[in-house]
Structure 1
């Protein structure tokens, strides 16, 4: 089967790549893309703060949270509710005062209209001999004030000018940064490295994290916690939700879709 050339428009074949390219450029239709690794949180990160957990807690559905983040979220919600209640009380007081003001607004408007009409009737006499002198004095004062303002501005700009900072004593130095040892999580039983590509489970009594392979091959045989020796039930084994790796073979659906208007004929 033949394919289109780079700028070919006369061929009979419309490839999948050209269709996706034209769909993205047209602005119509639903765009779908598979998320990469940079857009996925790690399995040990909190679902609220998206940061690695130090004091983790897990839900019955397997979602991991930082205990401090949950408490901060609850306190934040309480604070927001208290702020909204204060705003509501202020609004009620303002509405009550506005109703009291509106009851007297008509009388005040009549008084203001009366004052404005009376003030427009009375006019002050103009002295033709002093009006010109006043205008000359005002122009001279404005010219002198503008000259003083320009002098002050030039002095301020000269005082704000800074000396050159490209001298050896002020040149920044690029010091080498110390690299910390990377933290790696391992299974509590098999010591296998844990990550987004490895399905994990949490044992409720001990809080240990083990691989799903360890659960299937070892723990489910006698339903005993290998760390503490306690008896387990099916509810005590919580599959931990993971974000995936971004590869299609990870077994996790990580496609993102954007619904856009459809072109109608």
Structure 2
């Protein structure tokens, strides 16, 4: 086969060779890549801002936050709850007014029906001295005359009723070019808001008094904050002086806020259940396991594959 035959692009079929070549050049369909270490949050970074914490606090579930960021989040959530509460109360007020209007209209309709029925009752007493034959004569003639006179008026009455029905139908139909007849969408109903602020990471209720201050022990206390951020090994265990990182399970002691390794907790602290920094008595709830992002090999429950959709050529 000649070179021209190999590079022929006049075919109507999108071949496997062309698809593979396009995939190598620009991507075909969905591509998956493995996230590296740079794409994972460090253990000492805020879960909201993803930056190293200046004044860190930890929740009872072990999620680390910057104090300013989590306070701003709680304030924003409370403002949203207050806004939704005002909208819900306004909706309840409107519904109450509508119910009052409907009850008032129903009461007026009952009164009108009662008055109409009362007006149709005959209150004239019957004449006991009047015979049935004499009473039947005029009534028969009146009935006949009434029937004779009412017979020609039947078509006109039916025509007027049909005309009124068509007019009512025209009034009920919506119109998209007349502003007064344009149909409008009803506002969606507002549900009763929950007045509890939930943690953005765990989804559990979050309160200010549940936040525990965290105090990391620096590897080199003489380093400034800028030089400390640029280093990979920044903090150590407060007891064993082991370097902390995403690959080292850590825990926070609630009384002192010190960060120690879980190995130190299991081998040293749980024997006496005393805080080695402050000397306070510890309970099981005072040992908060710090959540970490993982490494490039272990995700620690985090999805480590990123998906990117690319345009696909249709044949």
> What TM-score do you get using the length of structure 2 for normalisation?
0.41
Larger Rg: 2
> What TM-score do you get using the length of structure 1 for normalisation?
0.47
